[in-house]
Amino acid sequence: MSAFSFNKLVIFGVGLIGGSLARALRERGSSGREGAQVIGVGRHARSVSRALELGVIDAAATLDDEAALAAALDGADIVLIAAPVAQTQALLERIAPHLGSETIVTDAGSTKSDVIAAARAALGARVAQFVPGHPIAGRESSGVDAALPDLYVGRNVVLCPLEENAPASVERIAAMWRATGAVIGEMPAAQHDRVFASVSHLPHVLSFALVDQILASPDAQLKFSFAAGGFRDFTRIAASSPEMWRDVCLANRAALLAELDGYTEVLTRLRAAIDAGDGVALETVFARSRAAREAWQERGGKGAAAAIETAPGK
């Protein structure tokens, strides 16, 4: 685990992602300097009171208290935006008047092109202080009660540096995530959004859609009562935050629509094969998919950062 220390880390949105970062830095041996603080900022006092109660943060501030917000940001080393991506520009606009020249701001958003546009609009010439990031970790549970100190161990964190970023700023954010046990990779924002539309955003839409389809059927309760492992595995992520995934879908709509169109084409082919009784066509698709899934599982995610570094478009 890489050495990392800080004086003041300010987290906007102390839920699963922000709370797990705070716990990881506190509990996995990468402590702050003497007197270091982790400060949580929420929309309302109730949104950060639980984090205080659990000891995840040392102090709290709210967006509706300008003096407390200014004090929280004063002297901050790093600011993490761990809120739904649609809130990014508004949050950065609130931060900007209180942002010190040495403070580095980063985010944990699942989309990057829109976040970068928001940062440019909110920070202007100070956008060099913003290092876009995306920790590829999560659970179906949300909120600070779901935060884990080992959530990021062995998981990928993608950084999408801006041309304005100083290399030292990018490395500072990379070191923070490495201290949690994460593996760091980089890729351009547009590529990031295409990749995660396919392997993250689309699966969430499909999971929500299946549950909604069953809910709309006249015998929904009967179906749910007999649902077992396959349903549980496929729909686990339908327990994720509706607000967050609403924002992700809208923020990455072009890439996600392309993935939905591609998936629809595959479904159309499978439907035609089922309708025609074409078992060979079905088995061919199923076998190819199983082999790819098994190969991915055998890799266990290892080498993902290297794949990022050598991906087309780098």
Q: How far is CA 44 from CA 49, 81, 241, in A?
A: 9, 16, 18
Q: Tell how strand 37-42 and strand 133-135 pair up.
A: unpaired
Alpha helix stretches (DSSP H) within the chain: 16-27, 45-54, 66-73, 88-95, 113-123, 167-178, 189-196, 202-215, 220-226, 229-235, 242-251, 253-276, 279-299, 304-310
**Separation between Cα atoms, residue 66 and residue 140, nearest integer Å:** 33
| Locus of tokens 């809120």 | 83
pLDDT of residue 303: 43
Contacts of 6 (CB under 8 A, 6+ apart): 25, 32, 33, 36, 77, 78, 176
Nearest in space to 44 (alpha carbons), one of 74, 8, 69 = 69
pLDDT < 70: residue spans in the chain: 1-2, 29-35, 139-140, 301-314
DSSP state of 83: S
pLDDT of residue 34: 63
pLDDT of residue 126: 96
Q: Supply φ then ψ for residue 236, to 5 degrees.
A: -50, -45
Alpha helix stretches (DSSP H) within 101-199: 113-123, 167-178, 189-196
**Separation between Cα atoms, residue 158 and residue 183, nearest integer Å:** 9
pLDDT of residue 140: 66
| Locus of tokens 């809208």 | 250
pLDDT of residue 244: 86
**Separation between Cα atoms, residue 137 and residue 166, nearest integer Å:** 26
Q: What is the pLDDT of residues 251-286, one digit of tens each?
A: 999 999 999 999 999 999 999 999 999 999 999 999
**Separation between Cα atoms, residue 118 and residue 57, nearest integer Å:** 27
Task: Give first-to-last CA distance, the chain, whole Å.
Answer: 27
Could you give the maximum distance between any two Cα atoms of the chain, in Å? Answer: 70
Whole-model pTM: value is 0.85
**CATH numbers and ranges of domains, the chain:** 8-187 (3.40.50.720), 192-276 (1.10.3660.10)
pLDDT of residue 11: 97
Query: Residues 60, 45: contact at Cβ < 8 Å?
Result: yes
Nearest in space to 42 (alpha carbons), one of 26, 56, 28, 25 = 56
Tokens standing for 218? Answer: 């006249």
Q: What is the pLDDT of residues 46-89, one digit of tens each?
A: 879 999 999 999 999 999 899 999 999 999 999 999 998 999 99
CA dihedral 228, 234, 238, 240 (to 10 degrees): 110
